[in-house]
Amino acid sequence: MAVLGCGYWGINHVRVLSELPQARIQVVCDTRPERLDEVGRRFPTIRLTTQLEEALNTPDVDAVVISTPATTHYALALRCLNAGKHVLVEKPISKTVLEAEDLTRRAEARGLVLMVGHTFLYNPAVRTIKDYIQRGEVGRVYFVYARRTNMGPIRHDVNALWDLAPHDISIFNYLLGGKPEWVSAVGAKVLRNGREDVGFISLGYPSNVVGHIQVSWADAYKVREVVVVGSDRRIVFNDFHPVERVRVFEKGVAPVEEATSFDEYQLRIRDGDIVSPAIETSEPLKNQCLHFVECVRDGKRPLTDGWAGRDVVQVMEAIDRSVERRGAPLEVAHEIQPAQEKPYVAPRGKVIDKRINTVMP
């Protein structure tokens, strides 16, 4: 394997992959030599380069992990797929739906695995919540909300919404089994660095399930929390809790079904314990990398494939449009049939006819 980008997150990929007996890292590529020095100190046997072509031409590289800034994902993933490599690209898969679909179709056409690093779907805590919902123990899901706040770290290519909200959108889509129908979002540039550093996002999922996500780089209170509220239970995932990362409140409120008139309308209040289920202690990034390796080896479709990544980007595009219009509620675009699509203009001026997946000069 090759790893592209070994900054804050990429070096974790290098560590995790070098611990997996099923994989071997042949080469790490970063455009910053000082990052390669750090990799060289910690992993002295790995070949290092600042040149993408050198990484792709290194013998025995079947698959590439891309952990570079979001705005570089599309171009790098495209080059890797064109070189016949399987790709695990960090979230978000790309900055536009057209780019995400282009990568996904290319990977499919060439029989390559394309996976997106939506790490929380490989987090045993999130899997536990999904199990509760699937077993019907939450009852009817009413709403979901998430908070992801801290003081930075500030990115220089995307705003706080693009940096943080893809985590929660991927979690919500997974827990609720689909993407939202509409969004409404506001953002603010309180740190005045030219990008939104605070965002409040409302999402409307099918069956009237509403969601809310609060993200910030400018909040001195560090929170990583996802909450699911249903008629029978409320489940809280607190990623920072040292022991009880998931707490299940066996409490809920629901209308009494038999009521026939407003006068008879009553609420059924269910009261019970607060339990903290045992959660497997495996590292989410390791689970994610193992899943990628297994998909490459066995030719399986990843849980977080290109289409799942595309769904997240589709929501983010709608969020961008809503932020521009100060929170106007907007439909998340429906699937466009290939026959109705306009030709996609690739960043370097080439026209790609998406129906036949070829690049034309």
Stretch that binds ligand NAD, among 1-9, 197-205, 208-216, 264-272 (CB under 6 A): 1-9
Stretch that binds ligand NAD, among 25-33, 99-107, 205-213, 336-344 (CB under 6 A): 25-33
Pick the closer one to ligand NAD by CB: 29 or 133.
29
Site membership for ligand NAD, residue 40 (CB under 6 A): no
Q: Return the residue of 19, 24, 32, 134 that touches ligand NAD, per CB under 6 A.
A: 32
Please name the residue that has the structure tokens 């570079």.
Answer: 68
**CA–CA separation, 209 vs 253, rounded Å?**
16
Q: What DSSP line would sit under 246-304, residue for residue?
A: EEEE--EEEE-TT--SGGG--EEEE---EE--------HHHHHHHHHHHHHHHTPPPTT
Q: Is the dihedral of CA 25, 31, 33, 35 positive or negative?
A: negative
Site membership for ligand NAD, residue 291 (CB under 6 A): no
Report the DSSP beta bridge partners of residue 348.
Answer: none
**CA–CA separation, 277 vs 70, rounded Å?**
35
Q: Return the residue of 49, 94, 96, 119 that touches ligand NAD, per CB under 6 A.
A: 119
Please name the residue that has the structure tokens 């827990």.
Answer: 175
CB of 7 to ligand NAD, least distance (A): 2
Q: Return the residue of 56, 70, 114, 171 that touches ligand NAD, per CB under 6 A.
A: 70
Give, to the nearest 10 degrees, the angle between helix 284-298 and helix 10-19. Answer: 60
Site membership for ligand NAD, residue 316 (CB under 6 A): no
Site membership for ligand NAD, residue 124 (CB under 6 A): no
Q: Return the residue of 30, 168, 305, 320 that touches ligand NAD, per CB under 6 A.
A: 30
Binding map of ligand NAD across residues 45-64, x = CB under 6 A, - = no contact:
-------x------------
> Residues near 209 by Cβ (< 8 Å), separated by ≥ 6?
141, 142, 143, 144, 176
Site membership for ligand NAD, residue 4 (CB under 6 A): yes
Task: Tell me the two tokens of residue 343.
Answer: 């030709």
Q: In this structure, how many other beta carbons lie within 10 angstroms of the beta carbon of residue 89?
A: 29
CB of 10 to ligand NAD, least distance (A): 5
Residue nearest to ligand NAD as judged by C-beta position: 7
Site membership for ligand NAD, residue 1 (CB under 6 A): no
Pick the closer one to ligand NAD by CB: 194 or 361.
194
* φ, ψ dihedrals at 212, nearest 5°: -145, 140
Pick the closer one to ligand NAD by CB: 34 or 263.
34
Site membership for ligand NAD, residue 117 (CB under 6 A): yes
Question: Which spans of this chain sit near ligand NAD (rule: CB under 6 A)?
Answer: 4-10, 29-32, 35, 52, 67-70, 72, 76, 90-91, 117, 119
